[in-house]
A = this chain, B = another copy of it.
């Protein structure tokens, strides 16, 4: 009992005892069994995060931001990926809730009914549930750290419209299950059409996006190059940009381009690729801060070191259109 106490609240054991315990610990390679601790205390120090795909740079940054923010406070990250499948997401939520996590982070605001029920139950039992990468004003049951994808699609269309382009194409992502990409695409098309512009929606193949972007440029070329094209992400746009340069197409005079995501390469392509910045790392950081704040206020929890950085509630930077040489 005294050892257990020493491990959790060291200043509550006498210095002499503490020294003896430390000595013993050094000889023993003792590792506290966290399952037993969790079972007894009901607290777990696990944060479960469920993302569509970890190798997607965007989500990887969010995970890294979350991980970095949260690990400083003794929380650990249980990570699962869904491959953009809602059914798989439900499975993962169910699996992950069995670890009684201190917090649950899911991607997006769309879930199967059963998944939603699990999330509601988790929330009801006091586990913070956060949705990242999207925002749905019509259902604010969970904490949302993201933005409106249709609004971004409209913003992108208006950028082209304001610059006088009346003939534009939207190159959507080949990941057919990525309905957030779809929301941007549809909103783009609707906004452009509403303004009377000529607008076309094409979809990239599911293959590697940089190469796919190049292929889409060729496809547009063969069916009549539009005056301007927006892309579901900067990788697609980069591929198209590089191919356009090879084909001696002048950007933006013949062909204007707009990406999404503000990947590091966007600023390095020729005179720069115009894009929308969305701060994926910050999504993770803000998510972590919100989580820590909630855990702290839910009572001083012995296991969790009250975050040294007093959870500065920095707000999430909203999507911003970054104009560069390509438009």
A97 B268 Cβ-Cβ under 8 A: no
B98 A33 Cβ-Cβ under 8 A: yes
Contacts of A60 in B (CB 8 A): 54-57, 60
Contacts of A57 in B (CB 8 A): 55, 57, 60
A9: CB under 8 A from chain B?
no
A99: CB under 8 A from chain B?
yes
A31 to B208, CA, bound (A): 38
- With both chains docked as a complex, state the minimum distance between the C-beta of A249 and any C-beta of chain B, in angstroms: 15
A267: CB under 8 A from chain B?
yes
Per-position 1/0 for A236-277, Cβ under 8 A of B: 001100110010000000000000000011011110000000
Per-position 1/0 for A53-70, Cβ under 8 A of B: 111110011011101100
Contacts of A235 in B (CB 8 A): 264
Of the candidates B68, B100, B208, B246, the one whose C-beta lies within 8 Å of that of A35 is: B100
Of the candidates B39, B65, B95, B246, the one whose C-beta lies within 8 Å of that of A76 is: B95
Contacts of A208 in B (CB 8 A): 264
Per-position 1/0 for A294-313, Cβ under 8 A of B: 00000000000000000000
Instruction: Give chain A's interface residues, CB within 8 Å of chain B.
Output: 29, 31-36, 38-39, 44, 53-57, 60-61, 63-65, 67-68, 71, 76-81, 83, 94-100, 117-118, 121, 208-211, 214, 235, 238-239, 242-243, 246, 264-265, 267-270, 281
Instruction: Please list 15 pairs of residues, one from A and one from B, whose beta carbons are closer than 8 Å in the complex, sorted by A's number.
Output: A31-B98, A31-B118, A33-B39, A34-B98, A35-B38, A53-B64, A54-B63, A55-B57, A55-B65, A68-B81, A68-B83, A71-B80, A76-B95, A77-B79, A78-B78
